[in-house]
Amino acid sequence: KTVTAETPQKTPEATIDISISNPERVIFPESGETKGDLASYYAAVAPLMLPFAGNRPISLVRCPQGRSKKCFFQKHDSGTFGPHVHRIPIKEKDGGTEEYLFVENAEGLIACVQMGTIEFHGWASRADAVEQPDRMIFDLDPDEGLDFRQCARAALDLRARLADLGLVTFAMLSGGKGVHVVVPLKRGHDWETHKNFAHRFAEAMSIAEPERFVATMSKAKRKGRIFIDWLRNQRGATAVLPYSARAREGAPVAVPIAWDELEGLETAKLYSINDADALVQRASHLRGWGFADQCLPRF
Ligand code: ATP
Ligand code: MN
Ligand code: MN
């Protein structure tokens, strides 16, 4: 099966020449989407996704037999992805070097899907300068039982505090339970600075409103609160990338949204892989909804 992508910047329709084996295999048993459906989704959103996800080290959630069977989180090259999935050697803490993966085009995304990938997670830095983060992420993780509106309100509050510091942000629905508040940054600072800032900011929020926020991972302390997960901002950590599908019931996807849109939303699973057309449509309206220029990455 050959999938077709819209690449508006170049030719209107470019064929991606990656064959998908077993396109009829059901990957999402609750709602019935197949491996072919997933490949078509990624082909359609590739032009939206790659500016956020291309050219940065990635980890993959692979579920070759579908989301309800064994899945694994893959960080390193296994030599089986073919020519469109690139390798980048990165130094490990122990002094050794490991090969990480990155993609730069729709072929790369689809080659990963062919290998059973559902989710794409990425570093907060790009492959050409892995020691210089360019994106800070506050992953808001609500305690069980908190409704989505509280998480959305929290995201808006983080936005306001970050704006006080001169930082422009956007929100992303995770496709799971929460919202990520994302701060696109100019490169130039190191990981230590990046992590410290994220940690202190999360702590300041929790000190100001301890009944709403926690900045430590412990589940016990989360009771009725939102964990501001700043740990996405350490060297080697990843967060789910914009437009990634999720290996969760209903085939939801992670979606960047404008702040104006977040108010009033009731779920982080607003879109699924069946909504590629709507996502492509809405992407062209993001700016009009208040999605700042600084938040639209160039690729
Ligand atoms: P939700 O909104 O439901 O919290 P999420 O994507 O933010 O969705 P989290 O559990 O908060 O999910 O985030 C976990 C993050 O940790 C993932 O984004 C992923 O990049 C990273 N991660 C690191 N190791 C793993 C692993 N073994 N399996 C899954 N995720 C991992
Ligand atoms: Mn989360
Ligand atoms: Mn988290």
Q: Given this model, what pLDDT does residue 13 score?
A: 53
pLDDT under 50 in the chain at which residues? 1, 6-12
Q: Given this model, what pLDDT does residue 17 score?
A: 85
Q: Is residue 103 one of the residues assigned to a domain? A: yes
Residue 105: CB within 6 Å of ligand 1?
no
Q: Is residue 87 one of the residues assigned to a domain? A: yes
Show the domain range for 97.
Answer: 3-129+238-246
Nearest to 102 by CA among 134, 126, 119: 126
- Ligand 1 atom with the smallest distance to the CA of 178 is 2
Give the CATH number, domain containing residue 20: 3.90.920.10
Q: Is residue 289 one of the residues assigned to a domain? A: no
Q: Given this model, what pLDDT does residue 94 score?
A: 87
Residue of 148, 174, 179 best suited for mutating to test ligand 1, as the one with most atoms within 8 Å of CB = 174
The dihedral formed by the CA atoms of 285, 288, 290 and 293, expressed in degrees to the nearest 10: 80
Pairwise CA distance, residues 28 & 65, whole Å? 10
Q: What is the DSSP letter of 229?
A: E
pTM, rounded to two decimals: 0.94
Q: Is residue 156 one of the residues assigned to a domain? A: no
- Which ligand minimizes its atom distance to the CA of 237? 1
> Based on the number of CB atoms within 10 Å of its own CB, is 42 exposed (0-12), middle (13-18) or buried (19 or more)?
buried
- Which ligand minimizes its atom distance to the CA of 177? 1
Q: Is residue 140 one of the residues assigned to a domain? A: no
Q: Given this model, what pLDDT does residue 7 score?
A: 47
Q: How many domains does the chain have?
A: 1
How many whole angstroms from 240 Cα to the centroid of ligand 1?
Answer: 7
Residue of 141, 214, 241 best suited for mutating to test ligand 1, as the one with most atoms within 8 Å of CB = 141
Radius of gyration of the chain measured on its C-alpha atoms: 19
How many whole angstroms from 10 Cα to the centroid of ligand 2?
Answer: 35
Q: Given this model, what pLDDT does residue 8 score?
A: 45
How many whole angstroms from 232 Cα to the centroid of ligand 2?
Answer: 9
Locate 206 and state its tokens: 């929790």
Pairwise CA distance, residues 237 & 59, whole Å? 10
Q: For ligand 2, a single-atom ion, which residues have Cβ within 5 Å?
A: 139, 141, 178
B/e letters for 260-275, b = 16+ CB within 10 Å, e = fewer, are: ebbeebeebbbbbbbb
Residues in the chain: 299
Locate 63 and state its tokens: 């579920």
Q: Is residue 21 one of the residues assigned to a domain? A: yes
Q: Is residue 285 one of the residues assigned to a domain? A: no
- Ligand 1 atom with the smallest distance to the CA of 176 is 3
Q: Is residue 25 one of the residues assigned to a domain? A: yes
Q: What is the DSSP letter of 134?
A: -
